[in-house]
């Protein structure tokens, strides 16, 4: 039975933006990714109201992870020491549409590597793949302020998605992303008012709202997913009501949150089923839930999860 169309009319829509710059646009990417554009609730209205299909960004770390469970390390065991090869495997074998390069190794507690390391890794990944890049900071404000502006400059003109910026630490990266022609990730906890405030602060510096993607920290399945869903849904409704400060596409870090759950990573619990299945399933269940709240970019870690989530997206967005 066909799904009935929701005829309710809205005044607002999610901003549409295109990540990545090809040679014709001054960059080196061989493909671009367009997100956003929805003008109705998820699954509501015509196919035109749905906007662009959600996309998957697969995580690549700048340094070999020391806290990933074996089941997550296994698919990457031959490339963990080479971020470029890692990224290439994600694109060519696992179908990643974006690569999210996470700078774990620059964190003072996780290696304290310098800007030269971050730039080298970024250039390595940029050369290895042709898809657009998401460049994700370590989360330590002082170190991010030292490193991320230099990373931004190293990929000037590539129209990367760079972040994250918060209400306490937005000025440095906002200014450099504006100068280098990148897109920006604004971060907030699961609080619409704070999320809106970060967007306002960034906009007040002259950064275009149309170049912002928003990120709210979300839990995984069983760890507050219902609350996360409701906040994301409220954000979409605020967008559709015409609130320009909430009209940004949304990115969620499903991989990190899912593999923090004990159900995903504990191996000595046979009554829970095979460990090699639980983690990917946890990512899939979390991703599908958030996609139904209107998320545009899903960060994924396990290739089996990426394939399943992509299949879900293709099934529900057959007209896109």
Fold of 28-316: TIM Barrel (3.20.20)
Tell me what pLDDT residue 320 has.
56
Q: Residue 23 and residue 314: Cα distance in Å, rounded?
A: 29
pLDDT of 257 strictly over 80: yes
- What's the chain's average pLDDT? 92
- Whether the predicted pLDDT of 116 surpasses 70: yes
- 112: Cα separation from own chain's centroid: 24
Convert the pLDDT of each residue in 24-66 to its tens digit: 999 999 999 999 999 998 888 888 888 999 999 999 999 999 9
Structure tokens at 263: 């159900």
Looking at residue 1, its pLDDT comes to 45
How confident is the model over 5-20, as pLDDT tens digits? 545 679 999 999 999 9
> Taking the model in full, what pTM does it have?
0.94
Angle at alpha carbon of residue 129, lines to 127 and 135, rounded to 5°: 85
The string of pLDDT tens digits covering residues 269-304 is: 888 888 889 999 999 999 999 999 999 999 999 999
190 DSSP assignment: S
DSSP secondary structure string, 95-155?
--SEEEEE-GGGSTTTT---HHHHHHHHHHHHHH--S-EEEE--S-HHHHHHHHHHHHHHT
261-271 pLDDT per residue, tens: 888 888 888 88
Domain ranges within the chain, ordered by starting residue: 28-316
Q: How far apart are CA 291 and CA 293, in angstroms?
A: 5
**How long is the chain?**
320
User: Tens of pLDDT along 211-241?
Assistant: 999 998 888 888 888 888 898 899 999 999 9
Q: Which residues pair with 61 in a beta bridge?
A: 102
Contact indicator for 55, 97 with CB cutoff of 8 Å: yes
């Amino acid at each position: 039975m066909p799904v009935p169309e929701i005829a309710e009319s809205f005044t607002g829509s999610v901003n549409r933006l295109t990540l990545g710059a090809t040679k014709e646009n001054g960059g080196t990417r061989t493909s671009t990714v367009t997100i956003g554009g929805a003008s109705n609730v998820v699954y509501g209205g015509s196919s035109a109201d749905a906007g662009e299909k959600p996309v998957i960004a697969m995580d690549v770390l700048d340094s070999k992870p020391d806290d990933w469970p074996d089941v997550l390390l296994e698919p990457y065991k031959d490339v963990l020491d080479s971020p470029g090869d890692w990224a290439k495997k994600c694109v060519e074998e696992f179908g990643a549409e974006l690569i999210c390069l996470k700078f774990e190794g620059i964190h003072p507690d996780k290696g304290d590597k310098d800007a030269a390391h971050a730039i080298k890794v970024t250039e390595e990944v940029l050369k290895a793949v042709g898809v657009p890049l998401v460049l994700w900071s370590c989360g330590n404000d002082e170190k991010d302020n030292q490193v991320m502006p230099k990373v931004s400059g190293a990929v000037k003109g590539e129209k990367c998605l760079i972040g994250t910026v918060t209400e306490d630490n937005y000025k440095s990266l906002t200014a450099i992303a504006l100068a280098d022609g990148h897109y920006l990730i604004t971060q907030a906890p699961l609080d619409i008012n704070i999320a809106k405030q970060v967007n306002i602060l960034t906009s007040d510096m002259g950064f275009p709202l149309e170049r912002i993607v928003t990120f709210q920290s979300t839990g995984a399945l069983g760890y507050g997913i219902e609350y996360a869903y409701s906040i994301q849904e409220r954000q979409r409704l605020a967008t559709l009501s015409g609130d320009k400060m909430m009209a940004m596409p949304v990115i969620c870090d499903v991989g990190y949150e899912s593999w923090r759950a004990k159900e995903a990573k504990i191996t000595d619990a046979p009554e829970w089923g095979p460990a090699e299945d639980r983690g990917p399933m946890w990512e899939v269940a979390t991703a599908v839930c958030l996609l139904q709240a209107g998320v545009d970019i899903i960060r994924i870690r396990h290739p089996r999860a990426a394939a399943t989530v992509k299949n879900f997206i293709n099934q529900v967005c057959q007209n896109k």
